[in-house]
Amino acid sequence: MDMDIKRLAKLAKLKFTPEEEEKYAAQMASIVAMVEKLPDLDASGPLIDPDNPMEFRKDEVAQNYRRDELIANAPEVQAGCIVVPKTVAEE
């Protein structure tokens, strides 16, 4: 199995010590061996389920929250906004 633990951790925004990395690599190897027991079948074509059509929502406004309720759980707030470390400009 060619699992790049470092790259996956980066994608998942997790950080591991070298020891943890080793442990995870071993554990993941046996888990992946388990999940590889899938039957041989043709898995081409799109994944779509036309038998479960969605009921759409009507375009009608409902305002149910006050700002203070929504940001009450935030770790850091300033001027009604949530605060994060300075971001480098992207998009």
Q: Helices 18-35 and 5-12 meet at what angle, rounded to 10?
A: 90
**Distance in angstroms (rounded) separating the CA atoms of residues 6 and 30:** 18
Site for other proteins contains 55 (CB under 8 A): yes
Q: Which among 84, 67, 66 is positioned nearest to 75, based on CA atoms?
A: 84
Site for other proteins contains 85 (CB under 8 A): yes
For Cα atoms 37, 40, 45, give the angle at the middle one, nearest 5 degrees. Answer: 115
Site for other proteins contains 22 (CB under 8 A): no
Site for other proteins contains 89 (CB under 8 A): yes
Site for other proteins contains 43 (CB under 8 A): yes
Task: Please state the φ and ψ torsions of residue 25, each to the nearest 5 degrees.
Answer: -60, -45
Q: Which of 6, 11, 19, 22 binds other proteins (CB under 8 A)?
A: 11
Binding site for other proteins (CB under 8 A): 3, 5, 8-9, 11-16, 24, 27-28, 30-32, 34-39, 41-43, 46-65, 67, 69-76, 78-87, 89-91
